[in-house]
Amino acid sequence: MSIVEQHGFLQVKGNRIVDAQGKPVQLRGMSLFWSQWIGKYYTAETVNWLRDDWKCTVVRAALAVEPDGYLKNPEVEKKKLFTVVDAAIKAGIYVIIDWHDHNAHLHTEQAVAFFGEVAKRYSKVPNVIYETYNEPLQNAAWATQLKPYHEAVIAAIRQYDKKNLIICGTRTWSQQVEEASLSPLKGSNIAYTLHFYSGTHKQWLRDNATKALKNGVALFVTEFGTTEASGNGPVDRDETQKWWEFCDANGISWCNWSVADKNESSAVLKPGASPTGKWKDSEISPSGLFIRDELRRKNR
């Protein structure tokens, strides 16, 4: 039985994400890289390999908005996204449709149109999770810019899809979850995005997340890195372990950044790794081997 057959439509109860029966569910998996730059891994073969060999229960499709992304080439980027989403549905795992943007509130009209289209397409499918805004920057105001943006996009989704989970980005690269929890969005099955990079974000951010949870909102780590926030630097195993323990203790799902062969330490693949999976250990980076081991251990 697949993870989706087992759990069905996800929902938010209190500060937890639970399954269709109200039982706790914690997903663990991988995020793909910006679709316009490393789109070669947006394949059904990669999705299937991540499920079968890496034991992923969720994948995140990072639909790049700008530069040279969806705003410039909407059909090209949507085709990559749909390939991944349809493959994940067929594979029986969950999939995050991520509007991968740092200035989404400046692109509200385009986001509303996009999410309306995908919600109409996938409204009956329990696999799909909507992520409305990857990482707002620190100078975007929650009350006057981010919240109205999320409300507009949520309305567009809910016009067609009444129940699939929606995850909403928070200020400062999706770290200010406490701020969002003090003025939460109205509606059901809404969670908030928490991002961390272990080499940069430590106990202080876990403390912030704990406050948000105590205020009653649910969190989902749609992206994290084992490295510094730049995506480079040493792999911080000890701090990543602390984060995993925190996520496990609070039932928080996560996706690791990223399925890419870029020459940076957060990428799980070495340059030239196949776009169709079947990666040998020699093609996987130290961070990738570390992540794969955790996925295999936890998602058995």
Q: How many CB atoms lie within 10 A of CB 207?
A: 10
Residue 39 vs residues 32, 62, 73, 80, 107: alpha-carbon distances, Å:
8, 10, 13, 7, 22
- For residue 10, the SS3 value is coil
Report how far residue 135's alpha carbon sits from residue 145's, in angstroms, rounded to the nearest whole number.
13
Is the backbone peptide bond immediately before 24 cis, with ω within 30 degrees of 0?
Answer: no
For the chain, the farthest-separated pair of C-alpha atoms sits apart, in whole angstroms, at: 49
Q: Give me the half-sphere count of Cα atoms (radius 13 Å) on the Cβ side of residue 160.
A: 18
Strand partners, 24: 18
Q: Which two tokens stand for residue 63?
A: 């639909």
In the set 77, 178, 179, 223, the catalytic residue is: 223
Options 135, 179, 228, 294, the catalytic residue: 135
H-helix or E-strand containing 24?
none
Classify 68 in phi/psi space as left (phi over 0), alpha (psi -120 to 50) or beta. left
How far out from the chain centre does Cα 98 lie? 7
What are the tokens at 152?
A: 């507009």
Give the C-alpha separation, 38 to 226, whole Å: 20
Residues in contact with 187: Cβ distance below 8 Å, sequence separation at least 6, in sequence order? 154, 158, 166
Active site residue 223: yes
Residues taking part in catalysis: 135, 223
